[in-house]
Structure formats: C-alpha cells, structure tokens
Amino acid sequence: MEFWKNENQPIEAFLKMFDKCMADPDLSKSLKKVNQLILFDYTQDGENCAFWVDARGGKVTSGQGRPDDEPDLIMSLSADDAHRSWSNKLNPITAITRKKIKVKGSATGLLRLAPKLKKVAEYYNEVLDEMGLEDIKV
C-alpha cells in the first residue's frame, strides 16, 4: 500500500469519514436515498480491509469487515485508490470504466452521489488531520 501503514488504518479513516458525513444533513439525506447495503471491498490489501454501509430503511449504519446480510452492491478496489476517490482525486465513473473499481450490483444510486464527493473530501481531509495523517493527503 502506498498511503497506509496497515490494513486497519484506511478502514478507521473511512468509517470516521462516514460518521462525519452522516452528521451532515444533506449528505445523510442523499445517502439514505441510495437504499442499499454496500460493501467497500479492499481485501486485496488485507483480509480485514473492508467496510460496509447499510443505507436501507431510512437509516444509515456502517461497520468494519463484511456485513451480516448479502450486500446489494460491492465496490472492489485498492485502499490506495479508495483514498484517491474519497479525496475527490479519482473520478469513480472513470475508475469503473478503466477497471480500477470493480462493481457487483447496481451502482446507479451511489454514483448519483458523485457530485457530492467534494463535500465528502472535506470531511475526509478533516479525519486525516485528526488522525495525524496530513502527509498522505493528495
């Protein structure tokens, strides 16, 4: 991994970022509309390098690893490319077409949130600062 010390570090950052996003009323409302259980699979960087977001039923929860239920959508990519994507430096649509992100299931709802990545990146950078990871910002 180019940016991370171990497989747990990116998951900690990504989950903290989601917590901040869910505290933002606009982002929270938009993610609830996705109404899917999503697995972000970075296990090519370690068997525990994954997290899930459950945006079904009008609420949003998240956790490390694989969810208990079968995901509606699986986004598979490297933790480094996830870092670039959450930093708004990797366009997810372009990354899918170039096979940097592999998608299993319908990503239509999630990709509608792409215009909001700039705001997500602001929260993500706050998390990196809080974790003392300013040096990996892209």
What distance in Å separates the CA atoms of residue 41 and residue 22, rounded to the nearest whole number?
20
- pTM for the structure as a whole: 0.93
**What distances in angstroms separate CA 84 from CA 11, 17, 58, one per listed residue?**
14, 14, 29
Question: Each residue's pLDDT tens digit in the chain (138 positions)?
Answer: 999 999 999 999 999 999 999 999 999 999 999 999 999 999 999 999 999 999 999 999 999 999 999 999 999 999 999 999 999 999 988 999 999 999 999 988 888 888 899 999 999 999 999 999 999 999
Instruction: Work out the number of other CB atoms within 10 angstroms of the CB of residue 137.
Output: 14
